[in-house]
Amino acid sequence: MCTEYCISLKVSILKCRHGGDGVRKQLMFRFYGLVVVLYLSDMVLFLSNLWNVYRITSSSVFLGVSMALGTLTPYFLKKSGLIRIKSSLRLVDLYKRRIIIYSLLILIALFHYADSPFGFIAVSISIGYLSLITLSTLETYNTKLALKGYISAQKASRIMQTVVQIGAFLGAALSGYLLEATSLRGVAAGVGYNGLIAALCVFDIIVSLVAGYVIFRDEYSATGVVPSATEKKLTPMPQADRLSLELKLLCVCIGLIGFHICAYNTLATILFQSVKNFSSEYYGLCSAVAGVGAFLAAFIKIPHFEFILPALMLGMADLIFSTTQSPYLAVVFCFFIGFSMNTMRINARKHMIEATQTETQAELVGSYSGMLYTISQSAGYVILGLLTSPALMGPQAAIYLLPLIGLIIFIYVLFLLARRAKV
């Protein structure tokens, strides 16, 4: 009798364990699957807006200004305190805000304002705000999954990075085909840009409704939640609370990478439309392949030449991408642009962490590098938009500006290595 009871008890325990494992796997599958869908949606919105701003207005200045406003507005509103913007939210709150943002955008599209200057700026600012809240919220929930034992920290980090890049890759590739299909010569020419934005908004609203009110309805409560890394109050330590020269130089390196990202976004758009007449399909593929390169940079290590080799690779890839008349070659070398940029960014952040000695320094480094990254991107959009305008150098200047920026980064890397060798 006792033996039978023990056996039945063991069977019950095993069933509970298997049931618990099944629930955990379902939760992780749902969460990471939704991350892919959200990044796909945001990437299609970003690239569609970027391409059409220049296609419709033919103004590189307006392209630069609208992209800069999208980057700067949420950042300054958060820093100034005029509007309370939390970077990290509960997932259900994230979905609510996405529904509100996309509902406003669908109204703009339905009234045929998405392809107007007002519409372009509204979409740019919306993208900037969504970027600010989406990644930090998803990263926070991913960390909570690891802290609660659903998954190991190492697996959580790798899977998160993988699904983000998969979503960005699919979104970039899909945006190229959607832009081509809804162009004047496309199979869905009648839909147009306003129709594309409206359809994209409906898609994201449906996803957010299902995620927030069906799939994850019971997953989020205010109690028992581990505070996110961005919300933890750090206790400052008394010594070494200033940024060292090495940390400042590494922060500038992060800023230059941000400048190059905005340079690629701006100049590739101008090159494809005004200089080389490549289709939007190749434009989307280039962004997708660059994302693949950036993803692989997290797994391929360059131990001895962690700055100089990727900087050299970046300069060469910029030169070939800008000058080639083959769209296929442009797509191939976008892989090296993405790989080399992310390799330098990863190595810069690694050395920043190693050089940080106190919690106060950690706060200063995060604030300083974030400020430089945001300002360099915003300034880059405006500067490059002005330089490629007909009043100054014209669209043809895009051929030379991207390799020039790659050369500047290479020279700065030489300077950085020389200064670090002296320390």
Does 31 map to a domain?
no
Does 301 map to a domain?
yes
Q: What percent of the chain has pLDDT over 90?
A: 14
Does 252 map to a domain?
yes
Q: What is the pLDDT of residue 235?
A: 43
- For residues 394-422, give the mean pLDDT: 88
Identify whether residues 242 and 204 lie together within a single domain. Answer: no
Q: Which has the minimum average pLDDT: 19-23, 297-301, 309-313, 387-391?
A: 19-23
Identify whether residues 403 and 363 lie together within a single domain. Answer: yes
Identify whether residues 123 and 207 lie together within a single domain. Answer: yes
Conformational region of residue 394, where left means phi above 0, alpha means psi within -120 to 50, and beta covers everything else: left
Report the C-alpha gap between 300 and 337 in whole angstroms.
15
Does 242 map to a domain?
yes
Identify whether residues 159 and 301 lie together within a single domain. Answer: no
Query: What pLDDT digit, counting tens, does each position of 135-152 carry?
Result: 777 777 777 777 777 777
Among 159, 183, 217, the domain boundary falls at 217
Identify whether residues 307 and 403 lie together within a single domain. Answer: yes
Identify whether residues 79 and 195 lie together within a single domain. Answer: yes
- For residues 315-320, give the mean pLDDT: 93
Note the pTM of the prediction, 2 decimals: 0.79
Q: What is the pLDDT of residue 97?
A: 87
Identify whether residues 121 and 239 lie together within a single domain. Answer: no
- CATH number of the domain within which 54 lies: 1.20.1250
Q: What is the pLDDT of residue 234?
A: 40
Q: How many residues belong to the chain?
A: 423
Identify whether residues 198 and 333 lie together within a single domain. Answer: no
Segments forming the whole domain that contains residue 335: 232-423
Report the C-alpha gap between 147 and 153 in whole angstroms.
8
Number of domains in the chain: 2
The chain-wide mean pLDDT, for the chain, equals: 79
pLDDT at residue 199 is higher than 70: yes
Among 189, 217, 245, the domain boundary falls at 217
Identify whether residues 147 and 75 lie together within a single domain. Answer: yes
304 Cβ contact partners less than 8 Å away, ≥ 6 residues apart: none
Report the C-alpha gap between 128 and 154 in whole angstroms.
29
